[in-house]
Amino acid sequence: MKNIVLFGKPGAGKGTQAEFLKTRYNLTHISTGDVFRFNLQNDTPLGREARTFMDAGQLVPDALTIKMLQDEVEKHPGTAGFLFDGFPRTVAQAEALDAFLITKAWQVNAVVGLEADDDILVARLLERGKTSGRADDQDETLIRKRYQEYNEKTAPLIEFYSKQGKYYAVDGIGSIAEITERLGLVIDKL
């Protein structure tokens, strides 16, 4: 079983690459955003609990996010592995993911980081914002604020996974096919 975390700043291409990688390696793609939307739209108990925090303008606590993720993993008992997209976002979430996977006798095999210059990523998001309808992709100030939060909370995961020998940086600039090929060179060696 291969469990891979696809990592990178907003606009790095995680969602785009996940579509190719899940097919190429027969992985179950788990996007935290998709899991949240499912729980909210279907008014699940976890979705209702998350909504209470969101309606109050608060971040959903890690414990609740992790519970949603665990429930999603449980839906796919026969998978060849998971491709985690958008999770973990903090060291605490990474530790919780490791603890959960250990209960299954699994582990994170690799964290593959799509790396790119902020200015290039801002331009990508502004372009995406023209068609996505997402307000946070249409305002450069909001995008840079997301990057600041990423640098404070998510970037420490690079060191966390590097110490485990599991972090692999991949150049996230180029054509979709070029980036997919670079990712494949890393994953094929696992």
* Residues with catalytic roles: 14, 89, 128, 134, 146
**129 assigned to a ligand binding site:** no
**156 assigned to a ligand binding site:** no
Identify whether 88 is preceded by a cis peptide bond (ω within 30 of 0): yes
CA 7, 115, 175, 179 torsion-angle sign: negative
Strand partners for 112:
6, 168
**182 assigned to a ligand binding site:** no
Strand partners for 30:
84
**32 assigned to a ligand binding site:** yes
**82 assigned to a ligand binding site:** no
**107 assigned to a ligand binding site:** no
**87 assigned to a ligand binding site:** yes
Other Cβ atoms closer than 10 A to 150: 17
Assigned token pair, 87: 């999770």
**144 assigned to a ligand binding site:** no
**155 assigned to a ligand binding site:** no
**128 assigned to a ligand binding site:** yes
Other Cβ atoms closer than 10 A to 30: 23
Assigned token pair, 130: 């023209």
Cβ neighbors of 71 (< 8 A, separation 6 or more) are: 46
Q: Which helix (H) or strand (E) holds 7?
A: strand 2-7
Q: Which residues are annotated as a binding site for ATP?
A: 11-16, 128, 174
Q: Which residues are annotated as a binding site for AMP?
A: 32, 37, 58-60, 86-89, 93, 134, 146
Q: Which residues are annotated as a binding site?
A: 11-16, 32, 37, 58-60, 86-89, 93, 128, 134, 146, 174
